[in-house]
Amino acid sequence: MKNVLAIAEQRDGALRRVSQEVVSAARDLADALGGEVHALVMGPPGTTGAAGELGRWGADRVRVVEHEAFTQYNPDGFAQAAVAAARDGDYFAVLVPATAAGKDLAPRLAARLDVPLATDATAIAIEGGELVVTRPVYAGKAFARVALEGAPRLVSLRPNVFRPQERPRAGTVERHDAGLRPEEWRVRVREVVAAAAERPDVTEAEVVVSGGRGLRGPENWGMLEALCEAIGPRCTLGASRAVVDAGWRPHAEQVGQTGKTVSPQLYIAVGISGAIQHLAGMRTASVIVAINKDPDAPIFKVADYGIVGDAFEVVPRLTDEIRKLRSGE
């Protein structure tokens, strides 16, 4: 009852960054409890190769479940594999990344294991032997601290919040067949349609350049793309709901209460007023920059740095300065 299970995530055979985050968070818990970290990776045949890398981030053992149908997230199959792993180890806690897959998987696990679940945690800690989970509620207008009765304690972690830390452990890889029963799987992924972007998803990017109605029309997004390009591959585009509703940008880019919640290192809001529902999605960014021509726009209340001015003048200049900086590197 001292060990912690971390559920990792892979895509196209490579571990995703959230896997490092979840394993590192599990390492912190296990160290406080004097236990081990076991990681679980589910993927297609060949996943075993990448799995050993989790040792670097603190996994003592890495359990791999491979299946041809696991090239994509498979709700029923992943749930079976994860339940088998969770039952196998008498774990104190099971940590899941709060990604698209993890948000689907965690409640299924909770119901099958008959344990409560705390989702989208931004902090976890052992206090007096108990696991205390901090999670935002009311779109981040408040934080709740909760304790979970039952074992294992099941928690999903908000991506980009828990920092990966290198703490090498054995990372011994074991393959399991986990007693998968494909004949019981009913949800089938017919195809995965990737957005044309080679940029990271808005929930995963380190820098987000986000545009609002102040940009006047979809034809002006080239300016934000150029800025994003100048910042580099760690940057991606975001949007306010006003521009998504207007059809200027896809919903996948929407940041806010009815869009994505993001925690990048840098969030640049251009022509966005800073409505409470927008702030809900980005107020946990480490650094916020606002560019808005209205000095009274509410976005300036949460921004660390602001420029009052016309986006059409400020953004191209910013792109130039960042290009200069990067070419000098």
Ligand X SMILES: Cc1cc2nc3c(=O)[nH]c(=O)nc-3n(C[C@H](O)[C@H](O)[C@H](O)COP(=O)(O)OP(=O)(O)OC[C@H]3O[C@@H](n4cnc5c(N)ncnc54)[C@H](O)[C@@H]3O)c2cc1C
Residues that bind ligand X (CB under 6 A): 212-214, 240-243, 254-259, 271-273, 275, 277-278, 281, 291-294, 297, 310-312
Please tell me whether residue 185 adopts helix, strand or coil conformation: coil
Question: CB of 280: closest distance to ligand X in angstroms?
Answer: 7
Binding partner selected for residue 271 from another protein, ligand X, none, CB under the kind-specific 5 to 8 Å limit? ligand X
Kind plus residue range of the DSSP H or E element containing 120: strand 117-121
Task: Give 45 or 143: the residue with its C-beta nearer to another protein.
Answer: 143
Task: Give 71 or 254: the residue with its C-beta nearer to ligand X.
Answer: 254
Question: CB of 293: closest distance to ligand X in angstroms?
Answer: 4
Task: Give 25 or 288: the residue with its C-beta nearer to ligand X.
Answer: 288
Other Cβ atoms closer than 10 A to 151: 16
Distance CA 27, CA 34 (A): 10
Binding partner selected for residue 145 from ligand X, another protein, none, CB under the kind-specific 5 to 8 Å limit? another protein
Is residue 24 within 8 A of residue 160, CB to CB? The reply is: no
Is residue 147 within 8 A of residue 116, CB to CB? The reply is: no
Kind plus residue range of the DSSP H or E element containing 33: helix 17-33
Question: CB of 323: closest distance to another protein in angstroms?
Answer: 11
Question: CB of 311: closest distance to another protein in angstroms?
Answer: 10
Q: Rounded to the nearest 10 degrees, how much is the dihedral formed by the CA atoms of 154, 118, 120, 174?
A: 0
Residue with tokens 């409470």: 276
Binding partner selected for residue 303 from another protein, ligand X, none, CB under the kind-specific 5 to 8 Å limit? another protein
In degrees and rounded to multiples of 5, residue 124 shows phi and psi of -140, 145
Task: Give 7 or 291: the residue with its C-beta nearer to ligand X.
Answer: 291
Binding partner selected for residue 295 from another protein, ligand X, none, CB under the kind-specific 5 to 8 Å limit? another protein
